[in-house]
Amino acid sequence: MILMRFLMPCTLSYERSLHYMMLAPSTKPDIAAQFGRSAARYAHTATVQYQGAERLFCLLDQRTRARIHCVLDLGCGPGVHTQRLQGIGGLYHGLDISEGMIAQARQAHPSADFICADMESMPFEDGRFDLVFSNFAMQWATSPEVLIREMTRIMCDGGESYFTVVLEQSLSPLLPLRQAFAQKERPEIIDALQTERHASFAQWHGALIDHGLRIEYAQHETFRAWFPTIQALIQSVSKIGADRPHPAAPMHGRAPRLTRNELSALTVGYERFREPKGLPLDYQVGIFKVSKLV
């Protein structure tokens, strides 16, 4: 079942020099650097991420596990959820691949423990955590299978994980509009635009089952945000650092800047999708709660 969640309109400033979202080649260092550059403004622009976090905290409020000893905030960013997770109890650890994000987190929460590391190769012993929390971060893994195996390893028996993840076919109708323009005007970037960037709900669900985790809750939802202009919409993605392709995607070379002609075409084309609240942008999101069998 697919549900639709709606977000309030968001207004962002526009910078003259724009790179179109999710086109330049990405490795994990590329992604880490990009998120690092956006760390300072992340908390003010991550509207969709906050919506996902609220869903997770609602699930956390319903948990039956009485005592938490050790909490992992996986892909913690600048520590926007640190205080709430510390309130759950237990020893808090925040992990992120971006040094810039970790620096912001340490500045905001000097007493908390943060570490800069790759989520697919975490520097923790087996069975360390009885609660893993991750919001809009796990989609940057090389594959669901690799990350779920590592997450299962660091969870203790009976431990729980709560996470949201961006799924395939997100960023509509923006990406289809860009593809349509490329077909007519910029065929050299078609391959990059058509690269699928994220795994499907079924792939994440299957990886959880394959690694012996019990699925307590699994939902595929559409989160929608609205923006006053196409410029604000594009920057809503670039300002949170998510303007690079998945690390497992083929490398297509540096993408050209968004041209004036392309921006004009997007502005005109997007207007037919305008709603009373503004121009819509949809994210496909998986919401999961799982536990490790004793």
Spatial CA neighbour of 85 closest among 63, 118, 103, 107: 63
Cα 238 to the center of its chain, rounded Å: 12
Q: Are the CB atoms for 198 and 170 separated by under 8 Å?
A: yes
Q: Are the CB atoms for 143 and 28 separated by under 8 Å?
A: no
**Distances in whole angstroms, Cα of residue 65 to Cα of each of 51, 62, 88, 126, 160:** 24, 9, 11, 20, 9
Structure tokens at 223: 């989160």
Amino acid at 176: P
User: CB-hemisphere CA count at 13 Å for 207?
Assistant: 19
Query: Distance (Å, rounded) from C-alpha 34 to C-alpha 97?
Result: 11
Q: Each residue's pLDDT tens digit in the chain (294 positions)? A: 445 554 433 333 333 233 333 333 345 555 545 555 544 444 444 578 889 999 999 999 887 666 799 999 999 999 999 999 999 989 999 999 999 999 999 999 999 999 999 999 999 999 999 999 999 999 989 999 999 999 999 999 999 999 999 999 888 998 888 778 777 777 765 565 555 578 999 999 999 999 999 999 999 999 999 999 999 988 887 765 444 555 555 444 444 466 788 889 889 999 999 999 999 999 999 999 999 998
Identify the pLDDT of residue 49: 87
Q: Are the CB atoms for 45 and 239 separated by under 8 Å?
A: yes
Instruction: Give CA angle at 289 (165, 116), nearest 5°.
Output: 55
Identify the pLDDT of residue 39: 47
Q: Output phi, psi for 200, to 5 deg.
A: -90, 165
Gap between the terminal Cα atoms of the chain = 29
What structural domains and CATH numbers belong to the chain? Answer: 2-292 (3.40.50.150)
Identify the pLDDT of residue 175: 82
Question: Whole-model pTM?
Answer: 0.80
Instruction: Give CA angle at 50 (162, 30), nearest 5°.
Output: 85
